[in-house]
Amino acid sequence: MRQVLQRSSLLVLVAAVSVAFLMLLADLLLAVFWAAVLAVLFHGLYRRLLAVLPGKPALAASAVLLIVMAGVVAPVLLLGWAVVREASLFYAAVEQGALDPSAPLEAIAAWVPWVRSGLESLGLSMEQLRAGLASAAANAGRFAATGLVAAGQGALKLIFQLAIMLYLLFFFLRDGEKLVALLVRILPLGDEREYELLGQFATVSRVSVTSTAVIGIAQGGLGGVTLALLGIGSPVLLGALMGVLSIVPAAGPALVWAPVAVWLFVSGAWVQGLILVAIGALVVGLADNFLRPMLVGKTARLPDYVVLLATLGGLSAFGFSGLVIGPVLAALFFVSWRLFEEEFSPAETRQEP
């Protein structure tokens, strides 16, 4: 009885202290998560460098850290700066009236005369629509301004999080295998299950980051370059939006380039509009169909709709980090329930999901 009481008290103490410690680190958990994800992504490179530099794990980890800073962190920061700059220019254009959101509406009404009469039959008028569009543009401008202010205020926090992430990445690379072995030894789930859960975390993290990054860069880059060559304003901002929306299979980037193509058509720029539609549908759209199966395949063993829902839910809950956190949690959810079934369900009643 005394031993049971001691063990129970120890479990309560460990749980309480662990929860308190996690609450203490609440603002840093995303930095810890991204350090772990990058350690998984660059572990192979670390092992290759360690083979060239035997007995010098700190030097190999430092070399990988420099590569991550130059090849990942710096380009992302530069892209973020360019997007913020173009967003501020868009806001200024809306505020100064240089960007008239009702111009395409006027062109459509002049091009298709029955539009005006159709609206009037519905109890609407061109003036009401024009006022509504002007209000929407003003609200969009205020939203952009608020976002820019928030980005400026969060710059110091972002730099701090990046510093913590890079600091932890060094130790996760150098001591990662020891930390995994320690975690497996401490957790009471059984070594085989723990290695499976950790392996699934590594697999889904790697697949999510590489597929999201490669497809986003391909579709956003192709779309942004096309817009720039066609003389469309804010190509970096619009390209970045296409890259983010690439998480929606097939139709994502079209949510950006299709309205721009309509704008070009109603503005009389038929050639540019046709070029944009052709490249958007045949190049940008097909890039997803070509790259996603090659990058994702069956590695994650998750249905496409689950990945999409998990990604959207992750974005809503965790922001940009949700692009990876969402699919990882979904994968761990399915693996955990499969392990539960294997433990408690009779073998003859099990079925493939």
- 100-134 tens-digit pLDDT: 555 555 555 555 555 556 555 655 555 665 666 56
> How many separate domains does the chain show?
1
Residue 143: the pLDDT is 57
Rounded to an integer, the average pLDDT of 310-319 is 82
Please give the mean pLDDT across all residues of the chain: 77
pLDDT bracket for residue 206 (50, 70, 90): confident
Neighbours of 57 (CB within 10 A): 16
Residue 264: the pLDDT is 80
Decide if 273 is inside a domain.
no
Rounded to an integer, the average pLDDT of 207-228 is 84
Decide if 241 is inside a domain.
no
Q: Which domain holds residue 171?
A: 27-186
Q: What is the pLDDT of residues 246-301, one digit of tens each?
A: 776 656 788 888 888 887 887 777 888 888 888 888 888 777 767 766 666 555 56
Q: Compare 249 and 307 and report the one with higher pLDDT.
A: 307
In the chain, % of residues over pLDDT 90: 8
Rounded to an integer, the average pLDDT of 227-246 is 82
Of the candidate ranges 60-69, 125-134, 177-186, 242-251, the one whose mean pLDDT is the lowest: 125-134
Residue 170: the pLDDT is 93
Of the candidate ranges 70-84, 129-143, 311-325, the one whose mean pLDDT is the lowest: 129-143
Residue 168: the pLDDT is 93
Decide if 140 is inside a domain.
yes
Decide if 203 is inside a domain.
no
Long-range contacts made by residues 305-311, C-beta under 8 angstroms, separation at least 24?
Answer: 306/330, 306/334, 308/247, 308/248, 308/249, 311/247
Decide if 44 is inside a domain.
yes
**Residues with Cβ < 8 Å from 201, sequence gap 6 or more?**
40, 328, 331, 332
Decide if 319 is inside a domain.
no
Decide if 299 is inside a domain.
no
Decide if 326 is inside a domain.
no
Cα dist from 106 to 90, 99, 103, 137, 263, whole Å: 21, 14, 5, 16, 11
Match 């493939």 to its residue by tokens: 352
Residue 28: the pLDDT is 86
Residue 139 tokens read as: 């609200």
**Residues with Cβ < 8 Å from 18, sequence gap 6 or more?**
none
Residue 167: the pLDDT is 92
Rounded to an integer, the average pLDDT of 177-204 is 81
Q: What is the pLDDT of residues 10-48, one digit of tens each?
A: 888 888 988 898 888 888 888 888 899 899 889 989 999
Residue 110: the pLDDT is 57
pTM over the 0.95 mark: no
- Residues 282 and 109: their CA atoms lie apart, in Å, by 30
DSSP 333-345: HHHHHHHHHHHHS
Residue 98: the pLDDT is 57
Match 């997803």 to its residue by tokens: 288
DSSP 41-73: HTHHHHHHHHHHSTT-HHHHHHHHHHHHIIIII
Residue 172: the pLDDT is 92
pLDDT bracket for residue 220 (50, 70, 90): confident
Residue 245: the pLDDT is 79
- Contact between 135 and 127 under an 8 Å Cβ cutoff? The reply is no
pLDDT bracket for residue 67 (50, 70, 90): very high
Residue 4: the pLDDT is 75
Q: Compare 309 and 248 and report the one with higher pLDDT.
A: 309
